[in-house]
Amino acid sequence: MKSPLILIVGGGGREHAIAWKLKQDSSAPRLVCAPGNAGTAELAENLPLAATDIDGLLAWAVEHKPYLTVVGPEAPLCAGLADRFRAAGLRVFGPDRAAAQLEGSKVFSKDVMVKAGVPTAKAESFSEPGAARAYARSLRPPLVVKADGLAAGKGVLICRSLPEAENAIDEAMVRGAFGASGAQVLVEEYLDGEEASILALTDGERLVMLASAQDHKRIFDRDEGPNTGGMGAYSPAPVVTPDLWPTIRSKVFEPTLLELRKRGIVYRGVLYAGLMLTRYGPQVLEFNCRFGDPETQAILPRWEGDILPALDACADGALRDECVRWVDGACVCVVMSAGGYPGPFKKGDPIYGLKDAARLPGVTVFHAGTRLEGGHVVTDGGRVLGVTATGEGLRQAVTRVYDAAARIRFAGAHYRKDIAWRALSA
């Protein structure tokens, strides 16, 4: 294949990791990222187009005809980017709008799971706050309130008491904390157990499971504080034992894809299941329609060989098990965030120590919220960097990643010191 042109849509740590992996492909692809960040600028041409600027992205793609477009974030997928591109004869890795509603609408996703017989928490949906409060009173706390639409990972509220639940309902439906995404909510029972992230590639019929991972959503150590977009991840997750894989495949992924096909929906891309491993077996907390962030940063460094053939196969309906292979060992990603995140935070602070950290064995620093200013890398988001390290085992990867993180400095920098603590303390 002659140096294919690949368009990567998005500008976060996930997209930097995708660009990093594609850059190593034997086909030597030419990469363009829209909008990208200071990290992708070292691997690709950055386009000044937002990931949600579908008209602008489509106009560029029609003119330049990329071999493949890889869509990172959920927002453009839920807005129909893949539909628009495919209608224009362009190849896309990512699901159409109807399929992306598995993430774009918690109510739609729950309906699919119930109809497909996928194990998940009991829940009801509401568009009127009084009815939601009444249902919450019928459940025994703790319980969970979820905004129906996209909320950047912050629309899931775990409520330890009934007053907390009523406040969460009002926060979403009355005070409008999540905008239109909170006009409808799910109120569901709380599932107890350990979480795991399982991603699979699919061409609509066939699927290939990817390596397991575990995300850390809370801002502070020991899972304290508010939810974030993710403060770190590691792969593999030992809690996903070998005996669980057949169950996860047959009880979660296969019936979900079958139910979608019954509805005339062909899902092509990554299907991500956030699971709670309960004493009754794996149950689905939520589905996402794209690579996870920061799970991608922990999974892709363990992918052996080329990734483009697998992305091609998903787009073309030709997925095979041989498309994906893994190297032994472990990988850990620690997210460094701006002070104040997930609340208000400052941008534009210079970042120091990036090259020093990246020189360490097994270490790669993925950029998330960064930009170039006067030739220097500065902060430009809440989650700033994903410091990542591989190792022969999890303990070595953890030691390496924290050695690297300690060498990076910017004003207000914050990161959790306990990523992978569950696995290491097991």
Half-sphere exposure of residue 8, counting CA atoms within 13 Å on the CB side? 32
- Which residues sit opposite 33 in a β-bridge? 8, 46
Say yes or no to pLDDT of 151 above 90: no
User: What residue type is 409 in one-letter code?
Assistant: R
Q: What is the mean pLDDT of the chain?
A: 96
User: What residue type is 323 in one-letter code?
Assistant: C
List Cβ neighbours of 94 (8 Å cut-off, separation of 6 or more).
69, 70, 71, 77, 81, 82, 100, 268, 269, 270, 289, 290
DSSP secondary structure string for all residues of 73-105: SHHHHHTTHHHHHHHTT--EES--HHHHHHHH-
Structural domain containing residue 296: 194-323
CB environment 64-74: b (16+ within 10 A), e (fewer)? eebbbbbbbbb
Residue 306 and residue 373 share a domain: no
- Residue 79 inside a domain? The answer is yes
Residue in 91, 79, 133 with CA at minimum distance from that of residue 289: 79
Residue 50 and residue 140 share a domain: no
Per-residue pLDDT tens over the stretch 93-113: 999 999 999 999 999 999 999
* pLDDT of amino acid 152: 72
Q: pLDDT higher for 151 or 352? A: 352
Residue 69: give its domain's CATH number: 3.40.50.20
Residue 215 and residue 304 share a domain: yes
Residue in 199, 210, 195, 385 with CA at minimum distance from that of residue 292: 199
Residue 305 and residue 227 share a domain: yes
Residue 158 and residue 89 share a domain: no
Say yes or no to pLDDT of 426 above 80: no
Q: How confident is the model at residue 199 (pLDDT cuts 50, 70, 90)?
A: very high
- 8 A C-beta contact, residue 227 and residue 218: yes
* High-pLDDT (> 90) share of the chain, %: 95
Per-residue pLDDT tens over the stretch 324-359: 999 999 999 999 999 999 999 999 999 999 999 999
Q: How confident is the model at residue 1 (pLDDT cuts 50, 70, 90)?
A: low
Residue 143 and residue 77 share a domain: no
Tally of domains within the chain = 4
Half-sphere exposure of residue 193, counting CA atoms within 13 Å on the CB side? 21
DSSP-based three-state secondary structure for 200: strand
* pLDDT of amino acid 155: 85
Residue 147: give its domain's CATH number: 3.30.1490.20
Output phi, psi for 419, to 5 deg.
Answer: -60, 130
Nearest-angstrom CA–CA distance, 93 and 78: 14
Q: Quick one: CA dihedral 297, 299, 303, 309, positive or negative?
A: negative
- Residue 36 inside a domain? The answer is yes
